[in-house]
Structures are given as C-alpha cells and as structure tokens.
Chains A and B, each alone.
Chain A
Amino acid sequence: MKKILILTLIAAFMISMLFLGTSCKEEVAEEEVAEEEEVAEEEEEVAEEEVAEEKTDIKIWYYWETLMHQESLDTVISSFNASQDGITVSADYIPFADFKKQLSIGVAAEELPDLVIIDNPDHAAYAAMGIFADLTAELSSWPDLEQYYDGPLGSLTIEGKIYGIPFGSNCLALYYNEDMLESAGSEVPTNWDELKDVAEKTTTNGVVGFGISSLPNEEGTFGFLPWLWSTGATSFEINSEGGIKALTLFKDLIESGGMSKEVINWTQGDVMNQFISGNLAMMVNGPWQVPTMRSEAPDLNWNVALIPKDEVYASDLGGENFAIINNENVSKSLEFLKYAVSVEQVTEYIDKFGYIASRKDVAETQYTDDPIMQKFIEQMQYALARGPHAKWPEISNAISNAFNEVITGVADPETAAANAQTTIDSILE
C-alpha cells in the first residue's frame, strides 16, 4: 500500500512538472521578448562604447606545432597589440590533423575566427566555400603586392581575385648522404636515369638508395608532383606521356630495390628519420627539416641538390597563406595582416621558421651564408603551386591513388594513369 502511495506521489510530481514545463515555456517566450528589447538597448550601448574605445578583438587560427614557430607568431602579435590601441589580436593553436575539420565545422556552426593561417593547397577550397574575404580591391593600391612571387600569390588567386596574402614558402629538394654516394662511386644525380642508377648502386645491406613520402594523401601527392611536372605535364594530365613516365619511374625504383615499398606509410618526418639514421642514401624533403637534422645528426655528411629532372626542373610550393574570414572585422584584420607581412616583421621571423619569404625583397636577403638554404632558394624558382582548384583534395586523392597502385604493384602505370584521369576528368567537368 505504501509503495502505491509513493508511486502515485512520484507520478503526480512528474505530471505537474510536465505542466510546469508548458507554462514555463509561455513565460520564457514572454521573457524572451523582454530580453530582446534589453539586448537591443545593450547593443546601442555597446555601439556607443565602441565609438568611445574602438577596441576590436581579432582571433587567428593556426596549426604550427613547433614551439619556435608559435613563439615567433606571438612576438608579431604582441608587438602589433602594443603598436596601436584599437585592435587586440590573439591566436589559437589547432592541430594540423584537425584543422580542416575544425574549419568545416566552424563554417556549419558559424563560429569562425577572423584570420586563418592555412596550408596553401587548401586555400582555394575554402575560398570556394565563400568564407574568405575577397581582398582584390583593398590590395590593388597596396604597393607591396608586386614584391610577391608568382607561385605563392597564385595559390590564393582564384579567377583573378585575391583571397589572402602569402605567409612564407618552402619547397622540396633532393638530400643526399655524401659518404654513401662516395663509397658507391656515384655523382649526385641530375636526371632520372642517373637517379635510378645511383639509387640502385647505393642500395646495400641495410641501406635503401632513395626515399620519398608517398602516403595516400596530400603529403604523398606533394612528393609526387615534382616528378609529374618535370615531364612538362600539369597536375590535371596524369594520363599523358609524362604522367605515365613519372609513374614508371616509381615502378622502376621499386623493382630495382632502390626504393622501399614502405614509402607508402612514411610521413616526411619518417623519411627524414630514416635518412639521419643512415637507412637512406637519398631523400626528397623540405627545408623545415634542416634545423632538426643539424641538431639530431651533427656528424652526418649530407648536402642538398635540385630534384633530378626529366624535361625541366620542378618542385612544388609548400607553405602557408594568411586568409581573412569574411565577417564584419575584415578591415581590422587587414590592418593587422599588413603589419604582419611588412618587410620589418617578415625579416624578423621568417628565418626562425626555416621558410623562404614569399616576398622578393626579403627572400633576397635571407640565408646569404647558408649554402643548404641557398639551394632551396634556387629550387624555389622552379616551384609550382598545387591546384589552385576548389576540389583540389579530390584531385590530389586521385593522383595519390595512382602512385600508390603503382608502388604496391596493384596496377601498371598505364592502367593507374587511366583510372586517375577518369576521376580527374569527372571532377573538372
């Protein structure tokens, strides 16, 4: 009996809660109206305050995980914040693996920062989403614009419109172990036949001649494109004489043992670690590895050369761009951006990144007594931007699929090229 009583009480309580819920809603609705009025009033107040103080918060998203990179960015930000009163800039770190995801979620949830520092091949895709501000008009009167290299500027120019300002650039080049090449009696390869020859000769017990990150993603595509471009083919023409030739180069390297199939699982960091551990005689990698290599393997004798060519020298352009999110703070963001990319600031931080400035006037003064970095600056002249295309991730996926098929032996170069071309053509339609 007691039980039934308790149950009845609970039930009564719950039902009354339900009714309360409905009546609450009505009250809430009334309150909301009241609140809206308040908000409107507050907004007016805020507007008045803004006139008085004019303090705007600008938020930046970036993905550099290296402490030195983060500190350099903080230095620029704090010196800008100290230089004026109207704008407070702050930066949030988002891991690279999550960066694109966060940005996409931010678009859907309408919670975006004011500025992003983004990987250059992704710039076009996000510009196509419509989240980046078109700066063509603002920058047309900006005298510094003509200082920028075509490659970096091309990565953020879509149909003649400029959607940002390049941050800094890097490119790939050939690293080689001097001792290993010497003991194999080989010269530094300059063309593909020499590369195949040297790779085979330097492959001995425990050492593989050549390595390049060939992951089935953007990182792998980044490594493959210089070979494709070197034949004169563009990124969109893989089923061409050149495309098949580039894929065949990979096939030959694998078959001679001069390159390990393992490359499909290696990141650029893995390749660098294999190289400094003495497991690779040659590798293709970027200049951002140089500081680590110098500190981790000070006794290793290595040097850098241009990537062996087929028809023309080629490399691809890596690096980041600044982009401004299309919101009410565009002009304030641009104010900070122009400060951050000024000659004084870029000179201050770009060397610490191991990057090459995207502006000629700074790049020409960089690394004057560093022959390794000078080689990268030389290679930079031949660097092309990936895309730019709004669907670059899909095109990149088709390309990386093709060289993965060839490396694993799933398909011969002709079939792999034809399959990839079918996908690319359907994307370009």
Chain B
Amino acid sequence: MLINNMNKTQKIHKKVNLGVLFVIPALIYMLVFVGYPIISNFILSFQDVTVQTINQPDKPFIGFDNYIKFLGDPVLVRAIINTFLFTVACIVFQFVLGFALALFFNQKFTLAKPIRGLLIIPWMIPITISSLIFKFMFTSNVGIINEMLKAIGLAPIDWLLQPRIAMIALIVANIWIGIPFNMILLSAGLTTIPKTLYESASIDGANGAQSFFKITLPMLKPTIGSVLILGIIYTFKVFDLVLVMTNGGPVNSTQVLSTYSYKLSFSLFKYSEGATVANILFVILFFISLIYIKLFFISDTMDKR
C-alpha cells in the first residue's frame, strides 16, 4: 500500500498536477454547499411542491410546467423588466458618480484621504438600516424629501405609493448605497497608475482630457471591468432593499426576481414556483458571469502568452 502510494505520488508529481490535490478541499466544499443546493433547486422547479405536497414522500414530477406557466405571467415579466431597469440605472449612476469622486479625491489636497474614508460609510451601514431610513425619508406625509419639496414651493410626491415613482425611489436609494463601492475600487485602481506617466504626458503637452482618455482609462481597464461586473451581479440580485422599502409593491410594481421568488415560496407557499423564478435569476446571472470570465480571465492569459 505504501509503495503504491509512493508510486502514485511520483506519477502525479511528474505530471506537475499537484495543484489538483490542493483544489480538492475547495472542490468538495463547492460541491456540497453550492452545487447541491443549485441542483436541488432545479429538481424542485420540475416538481409541484406546495403546502399540500411538501409532506408527501413522492413529490409529483411535472417537468417544465412551472416554466411554461410563467411564460405569460405579467408579474414575472414586470419583475424581469424591473430587475434589468434597476441594474442598468443603478450601475450607470453609481459608476459615473463613483468614478468622478475617485478622481476628485485622488487629487492631493488637505483632508482628501479622511473624507474619502468617511464616504465609505454608506457601504458599511447594513442595507436593512439604509433602506429603513430611505423609507422614512420618502414617506408622503412627513418624509424629509417631501418637506424639502414643499419648502421650495413644489408639490409633494407620493414616492412609495405610485407604481412608477416607487421604482425611482428604490434606484435613488441604491445609487447612494453603491457609490462608495465604485469609488473605493476605482481609487485603488488609480493609485496603481505610475505618476511618471502623467508627468511625461504633460511635458509632451497633453491636456487634462487627453491624459484622462489616453492614460487613466486604458490603465484602469481591468479595474473598471471588475467593478462593473461585480456591481452588476450585486445589483441584479438585490433583495433586502426592495423587501424593506416597498416589499415589491405597490401592486407588484417594484417586484424584482429575488423578491418575487421569496414571495412565492414563503408568503404563498408555492415552493416549486418560487424555485422556478430563482432559477431564472440564476440562469441570467450565470450568463453574466460567463461573460465576465470570458472577457477578463481569457484576455489575461492571452496577454501573458
């Protein structure tokens, strides 16, 4: 047995596949805690599990019926549109504002670093708390935002009570929460650009805009890519913010995929339908992640060659 062992070791060692061994613990962990729930969730979505059937040993298998049922479901369509709308609007504003702040605090002026540090606070506050505060601020009768509108002579707005406007309120809240994340990662990226590049550019007569587009942007490309993809994934699976601020309402108008899945499973006890919606969310995120891997990992290895 021992000799057998040694032989194997040598063989493995010869092929320099030692790394495989080190991957095994992580792989086992992933299979048990990530792989199993995903597969189990897919199986659940092909069954008909509700309050009546959850306690039965044999759950009725209904194939793609759950998915077909959702094809014409207006709430699901609304949830998908909302999820994309929310993600795009949040990412655009978070990124632009975060980038602007990162550039601004990259200048050398008094208190630049402490203020930049303080700006991370929105990111550090638990989202439930931020959401509750925004909910109070957007309240129609006594909310500070309507009070301010009244003070400057404008009509108050029913922020969280009107279907279209409620979505805007959610987006505003999430932009505020997400700016620091973009700012900090981009700031870190900015510090990796050698100052000498800017110096030589200015000697060559480049103006601010030119050095931004010719030096800053190209040098930041990997950082920007990571920030955008991570931001999209975080934003796409938004849950707590919506649950606390509107709970998907009024009348499902701010329902996103995650909250709709939660509602189906834990308010209406339609576990299989909840799993189906969760899987739709999973598949979309899966493709976004594939794009991320393709864009960055593959181009990285190509560069190295």
Q: Identify the closest chain A residue to B53 (Cβ).
A: A129
Q: In the complex, which residues of chain B have a beta carbon less than 8 angstroms from the beta carbon of A7? A: 13, 18
Given contacts A7-B18, A129-B52, contact A261 B161 (CB under 8 A): yes
Residue of B nearest to A218 (CB): B267
Given that A393-B267, A397-B267 are known contacts, is A265 also in contact with B161, CB under 8 Å in the complex? Answer: yes
Interface presence of B133 (CB below 8 A): no
Shortest distance between the CB of A243 and any CB in chain B (Å): 17
State whether the Cβ of B251 lies closer than 8 Å to any Cβ in chain A: yes
- Residues on A with C-beta less than 8 A from B163 are 408, 410
Tell me whether B251 and A401 are in contact (CB under 8 A).
yes
- Nearest CB on A from B12, distance (A): 6
Q: How far is the CB of A328 from chain B (nearest CB, A)?
A: 16
Digit string of A380-398 for contact with B (CB within 8 Å is 1, else 0)?
0000000000110110010
How long is the Cα–Cα vector from A8 to B51 in the complex, in angstroms? 55
With CB as the reference atom, state the residue of chain A lying closest to B250. Answer: A408
Residues in B whose Cβ lies below 8 Å from that of A11? 9, 12-13, 18, 21
Check A262–B269 contact: CB distance below 8 A: no
Contacting residue for B253 out of A391, A407, A410, CB 8 A: A410
Q: Please, how many angstroms separate the alpha-carbon atoms of A407 and B163 in the complex?
A: 11
How distant is the Cα of A126 from the Cα of B21 in the complex, in angstroms? 48
**Residues of the A chain whose Cβ atoms lie less than 8 Å from the Cβ of B1:** 19
> Which residues of chain B are near A133, meaning CB under 8 Å?
none
A394–B10 Cα gap in the complex (Å)?
A: 63
User: Is B199 interfacial (CB-CB < 8 Å)?
Assistant: no
Let me know if A14 and B21 touch, CB within 8 A: yes
Interface check B66, CB cutoff 8 A: no
Q: Is the CB of B140 within 8 A of A262?
A: yes
B54 at the interface (CB under 8 A from A): yes
Do the beta carbons of B247 and A12 come within 8 Å of each other? no
Contacts of B269 in A (CB 8 A): 100, 104, 125, 393-394
**Bound complex: CA of A260 vs CA of B21, how far in Å?**
65
User: What mask results when residues 202 to 225 of chain B are scored 1 for a CB within 8 Å of chain A, else 0?
Assistant: 000000000000000000000000
In the complex, whether B82 has a CB less than 8 A from a CB of chain A is: no
- For residue A404, CB closer than 8 A to chain B, the reply is yes
**Which of chain B's residues have a CB closer than 8 A to the CB of A394?**
268-270
Whether B249 lies near A264 (C-beta < 8 A) is yes
> Which of B5, B10, B13, B160 contacts A265, CB < 8 Å?
B160
> Which single member of B8, B54, B141, B250 contacts A15 (CB below 8 Å)?
B8
Known: A11-B12, A104-B269. A405 touches B52 (CB 8 A): no
| Complex Cα gap A7–B139 (Å) | 63
Whether A393 pairs with B52 at a CB distance below 8 angstroms is: no
Task: Give the chain B neighbours of A19 by CB distance below 8 A.
Answer: 1, 5
Contact string, B241-273, partner A, CB cutoff 8 A, digits 1/0? 000000111111100000000000011111000
Asked if A8 and B9 sit within 8 Å, CB to CB, the answer is: yes
B39 at the interface (CB under 8 A from A): no
| Given A15-B8, A404-B251, 10 new contacts (CB under 8 A) | A12-B6, A12-B9, A14-B21, A15-B9, A19-B5, A104-B266, A261-B161, A394-B269, A407-B250, A408-B251
Can you list 27 residue pairs at the A/B interface with Cβ under 8 Å? A4-B13, A7-B13, A11-B13, A11-B18, A12-B9, A14-B24, A104-B51, A125-B51, A129-B54, A216-B247, A217-B267, A260-B141, A261-B140, A261-B161, A262-B139, A390-B51, A390-B52, A391-B51, A393-B269, A394-B268, A397-B268, A405-B251, A407-B250, A408-B250, A409-B162, A410-B250, A410-B253
The interface of chain B, by Cβ under 8 A from chain A, is: 1, 5-6, 8-10, 12-13, 18, 21, 24, 50-52, 54-55, 139-141, 158, 160-163, 247-253, 266-270
- Kindly list the 8 A-B residue pairs having the minimum CB-CB distance in the complex, ordered from nearest: A408-B250, A261-B161, A404-B251, A12-B9, A405-B251, A125-B51, A216-B249, A130-B55
